[in-house]
Chains A and B, each alone.
Chain A
C-alpha cells in the first residue's frame, strides 16, 4: 500500500510544483508575462496615467492572470494557487473568454489524438519488437531492426509534412486540416465518428511510424534478454505451451521495463502535440497553445501549459498504479544503503 501512497504524494507534489513554477514565471521573472502585459495596457491607454488608471490596469491584469500586484507576495501566491486549483486560469486576452472554458473544449480532442497515437505506437512497437526477438538473427529481424533504427532518426514532423504534402495536397486522399468533417454534429452518430477517424489518420500515422521504431528496438532487446533467463528454460522443460511462454513468461517480463519508456514517451508525445496539431490544423490544446504564442496571449499560453502538464501527470500516475499490478516486486520497495 505504501508504494501507492508514495506515488500519489509524488503526483500531487508535481502538480503543486508546476503551479508554483508558473507563478514564479508570471510574477517574479523580470520582464515576465505580467510585466509585459501591464506595459501593453499602459501603451494602449495613451496619455498620462492617473492613479485610478493604474489601479484599473492592475485589476485587469489580476482578472487575467489571477495575480494582484498590490497584495503582498505570499497573498498573491496563495490566491494564485487557490484559483488555479479551483479551475480559474484567468482570462484570455485574445479570445476575451475564461481560459478554462477554451481549454475544456479542446482537451478531449488532444487526449483522443495523443491517446490513440501513444497506444498504437506502443502496441505496434511492442508486437514488432517481440516478433523481431523471436526471429532473432533472421533476415526479417535484421531488416526490421535496420528500419526501426532509421525511423528513430526521423522527426515526426518531417513525416507529418511529407504526408500532408503527398497524401493531402498532391493526391488529395486525406484532409489537410481540421479535426472533424464539416456539417456533422458531434455525438454518437456515424458521419461524425467517421469524419473524426478520417481526420485522425494522418497525424496518428506520422507519430506511429516514427515512434514505433524506438519501442520495437527496446522491446526486442528486453525480450532477447528475458529469453536467456533461467526461468524461460525451466518453463520450456516443464512442457508449457509455447504460447503461454511467449505471452506470460517472455512478454510480461520484457514488458515491465517498457514502462519507463512509456513514462518518458507520454510527456514527449503530449508535448509534441503542439507541433503536430499545428501542421495538421487540428484544433486541439497544442494548436491553441501555438496560436496563443502568435497572439501574445500569455494567460492562455500558461493555461495550456498547466493543463497539458496536468494531463501528463495524471497519465503517468495511472501508468504508475498499473505497474504496481504487473510487477509484484515493486511494492516491497528497497532503499539503497548510503555511502
Chain B
C-alpha cells in the first residue's frame, strides 16, 4: 500500500489535479434561514489517486460528492467553481456546463456509485437493459460496450450472463452493489465518486468490495473518491484522507500521516471513538456533544463547542489551513498541542492479554442453571410459491444448542441471512421453533404458552422476562405517541399496583438514569423530537421497565453514528449492572461485539447459514480463531493499524450461498480456503476441547481426522451459485 504513494505529491498542491474545487458551497433556503450544507470548500484531487472522505452523518459529505458532478438536487444551490481537467490538458468548470454537456460529462468523464444500490436500478427492467440504455444514451457502440460490461462483471466476481438476465430484485444486495460499480465504469470514466458504497453491506462483502475497488482501480486506471463514515475502511484503501466536520474539511493529508499524527482534535476524537478489535476497550471514548445544525454553524472554528482545547480565539476566528508538513493541512489554531491534549488510544499488538472485564465477569460454571436454554433448536421457513410448487425450506436456524447464564453477555455475529436474528427471536420466544426446544429456567416456553404439561412458570412471566431492543431507533417507537405514553405501556400492563403518579415518577427516574435530562421535558416529546441515540435510550428503558432477565439487542447500535456507539454500549453495560439482566447482543460487526463482550467478560458466537460454527470468550475468538470462517471475519474487520497486510481475500467465493439450498457437508466448504473433499461430504459438529468454553465446528480442529488425508477442493469446481433472491 505504501509504495502506491510514491508518485504522490503533497496534500495541498497536487501535480496533475483532475479536479480543482474552489470556494464550493451548497445552500438551501429554508423557513428558518439559509442552510449551508457545504461551506466554502477548496480541494484538489490528484489524477489516479484514491481520495478518502470521512465524516459522520450530516457532515455534508454527500453534498460534496454531488457537487463534483454538479448533481446537487434542487432546491440546493451550488456555488463556486468545480474545475475538471481532462487528460489532454483542457479545463472545464462543471458548474458552467449546459444540460447537454452535463449529460455527456456525467458517466463518460465522472460517474457515481451510491449507497442505495438496492434502489439504484429500475425494478421493472432487466439489468441488461440498464447497461444497453446507458451505452445508447451516450452513443457508444453497444456490442463493444456489452463486452466491456461482461469483463467488468466478471472482474467483480459475478457471472456476467446470469446477472445481465436478472431483474434487480433477483440479486442480493452485494451483487447489486457490484453490478452498480460495473455500470459506473461502463463508459470508461476518469473519475468515480463512491458515496458510502459499502455501508449497507456485510463486513466480508465490504472488505471484498474494497479489495476489488483497489484491483479495478489498478486495472482500469481511474481516480476514485471514496466517501464513508467508516474511518478504518479508508485506512486500507485511500491514498489521501480528507476529514469532514460541519460541512468543511478540517484536515487533509496522506492517509499514513493522518492516522499516525492526526492534528485536528476532531480527527483524534473520531479515531478514539471508533470501536476496533485490537485496541484496549477502556481507551475508547465517545465524543461529547452533537454535530452542529447547518443553519446555525458555530462561529469561528465550528468544532469549538465540543473541543476540549477550545479558547476564545477558536470562538472568534475561523482557523485557516495550517500546514503541519507539505502533505498535511489542518484547520486548527492549536494543532501543535493536540498530541498532549488529546492522547490517541494505544494501538496494541495483537497478542496482548485480554483486559480484566470492567464489569462483573460471569463465571461459566456448569453447576449454574442457565436463564435460557436452546436445545437443538430449528427454525425452518417454508417459502411456498403457491399451490403446485414444491415448498422450499429456508433453514434459518438449524439445530443450535446454547445456554445463556444470569447476567451474561453473549454476542452473536455473522453475515446477513445467517439466521442470527431468527435465532435471537427464537431465544426470546418471539419465533416458534419448528424443531428442538427453548426453555426459560427449565420451563419450555412454548409448552407454557400452549398449556402443555405441568407449567411451572406461567407464560405471562416468561414473556415479561425476555425483552428486545431493535436495530432501527426510527421504527422502534410509535411515532404517534409521546415518550411518556410509550413508557407507560409496560408499566400499566405488568405493574398494576402502581398508580399514575408512581408510574410518572418511575419513568422520569429512568429517563434521568440514562442521561435524558430534564426528564419532564423528554417525557413529553414525540419520537421525531429525539435524536437517534435518544430514541435508542427510550427503547432500552422500555425493555428494562419490564424487569427482564434477558434482553435481545438486535443490532441495537448499528444504526448509530460511530462516535455514539461506544457510549451506548457503555450505557447498556451500566444498566445491566443495576438491573441484573443478561444480554444477547446481535451484530454483524466484530469490533462492536468484541467491545461489549470484552468489557463484560462475555462470549462471542459465530454463526454461518443457520449454525453456530464457533463460540468462546473474546480472547479465544479474537486472538485464537479456529474456524476458517471466524478467521475470515477477523480479517474483514477494518483496522486502523494500516500496516496493510495485502493478502488475498481468505475466501474462495464472496457471495453467501442460497439459504434455501445450503451446501452439503460443512456449509462453509464452498467458500472455505481450507476445504477438502471430506468437507463436502461430512458435516462437522460443534465440539469443545475438554471443559473449555471454546467450541468449534471444523475438522481441522480434530487431529487424525480423515480430512487431513482427503484431497483439497479445486477452486474451479463448477459454480452452483445462484443469485440469492432478496
Chains A and B touch each other in the complex, with CB atoms below 8 Å apart? yes
Residues of A near any B CB (own CB < 8 A):
2-3, 5-6, 9, 229-231, 233-241, 244, 248-249, 252-253, 256, 326-329, 332-335, 337
The answer, yes or no, to whether B116 is at the interface (CB within 8 Å) is: yes
Show 23 residue pairs from A and B whose CB-CB distance is below 8 angstroms, ordered by the A residue: A5-B387, A229-B119, A230-B116, A230-B119, A231-B120, A231-B121, A233-B73, A233-B114, A234-B121, A234-B180, A237-B69, A238-B134, A238-B137, A239-B104, A239-B138, A240-B137, A244-B133, A248-B125, A329-B123, A332-B169, A332-B385, A332-B725, A334-B383
User: Chain B: which residue is nearest A326 at the CB level?
Assistant: B124
Q: Which of B133, B384, B387 has the most CB of A within 10 A?
A: B133
- Give B111-139 interface residues, CB cut-off 8 Å to A: 111-112, 114, 116, 119-125, 133-134, 137-138
Q: Which of A244, A326, A335 has the most CB of B within 10 A?
A: A335
For residue A294, give the distance in angstroms from its CB to the closest CB of chain B.
46
Chain A hits for B103, CB < 8 A: 239
The answer, yes or no, to whether B572 is at the interface (CB within 8 Å) is: no
Evaluate contact between B386 and A240: CB separation under 8 angstroms: no
- Give B82-123 interface residues, CB cut-off 8 Å to A: 103-104, 106-108, 111-112, 114, 116, 119-123
Q: Contacts A5-B386, A329-B169 known; A239 to B122 CB distance under 8 Å?
A: no
User: Chain A: which residue is nearest B386 at the CB level?
Assistant: A2
Task: Known A-B contacts: A231-B119, A327-B123. Give 14 more (CB < 8 A).
Answer: A3-B386, A5-B387, A230-B116, A231-B120, A234-B114, A238-B183, A239-B107, A239-B138, A240-B133, A241-B137, A248-B133, A328-B169, A333-B386, A334-B383
Chain B hits for A248, CB < 8 A: 122, 125, 133
Chain B hits for A244, CB < 8 A: 133, 137
- CA gap between A332 and B195 in the complex, in Å: 31
- CA gap between A138 and B107 in the complex, in Å: 31
Q: Which of A229, A231, A332 has the most CB of B within 10 A?
A: A231
Evaluate contact between B123 and A239: CB separation under 8 angstroms: no
Q: Contacts A6-B387, A229-B119, A327-B124 known; A237 to B111 CB distance under 8 Å?
A: yes
Evaluate contact between A239 and B108: CB separation under 8 angstroms: yes
Q: Which of the four size classes fits the interface of chain B?
A: 35 or more
User: Chain B: which residue is nearest A255 at the CB level?
Assistant: B124
Evaluate contact between B124 and A253: CB separation under 8 angstroms: yes
Chain A hits for B183, CB < 8 A: 238
The answer, yes or no, to whether B201 is at the interface (CB within 8 Å) is: no
Residues of B near any A CB (own CB < 8 A):
69, 71, 73, 103-104, 106-108, 111-112, 114, 116, 119-125, 133-134, 137-138, 167, 169-170, 180, 183, 381, 383-389, 725
Chain B hits for A229, CB < 8 A: 119
- 10 smallest A-B Cβ distances: which pairs? A2-B386, A230-B119, A328-B167, A239-B103, A230-B116, A234-B120, A240-B137, A238-B134, A239-B107, A239-B137
User: Chain A: which residue is nearest B117 at the CB level?
Assistant: A230
- CA gap between A47 and B133 in the complex, in Å: 84
Evaluate contact between B123 and A253: CB separation under 8 angstroms: yes
Evaluate contact between A235 and B106: CB separation under 8 angstroms: no
Q: Which of A3, A9, A230, A244 has the most CB of B within 10 A?
A: A230
User: Chain A: which residue is nearest B104 at the CB level?
Assistant: A239
User: Chain B: which residue is nearest A3 at the CB level?
Assistant: B386
Evaluate contact between A5 and B725: CB separation under 8 angstroms: no
Evaluate contact between B388 and A5: CB separation under 8 angstroms: yes
Chain B hits for A237, CB < 8 A: 69, 71, 106-107, 111-112
Evaluate contact between B384 and A335: CB separation under 8 angstroms: yes
For residue B66, give the distance in angstroms from its CB to the closest CB of chain A.
10
Which of A252, A332, A337 has a CB less than 8 Å from the CB of B124?
A252
For residue B32, give the distance in angstroms from its CB to the closest CB of chain A.
20
Evaluate contact between A2 and B385: CB separation under 8 angstroms: yes
Chain A hits for B69, CB < 8 A: 237
Evaluate contact between A2 and B389: CB separation under 8 angstroms: yes
Evaluate contact between B167 and A249: CB separation under 8 angstroms: no
Evaluate contact between A240 and B134: CB separation under 8 angstroms: yes
Chain B hits for A238, CB < 8 A: 106-107, 111, 133-134, 137, 183
For residue A125, give the distance in angstroms from its CB to the closest CB of chain B.
21
- CA gap between A9 and B387 in the complex, in Å: 10
Evaluate contact between A6 and B138: CB separation under 8 angstroms: no
User: Chain A: which residue is nearest B129 at the CB level?
Assistant: A248
Chain A hits for B107, CB < 8 A: 237-239
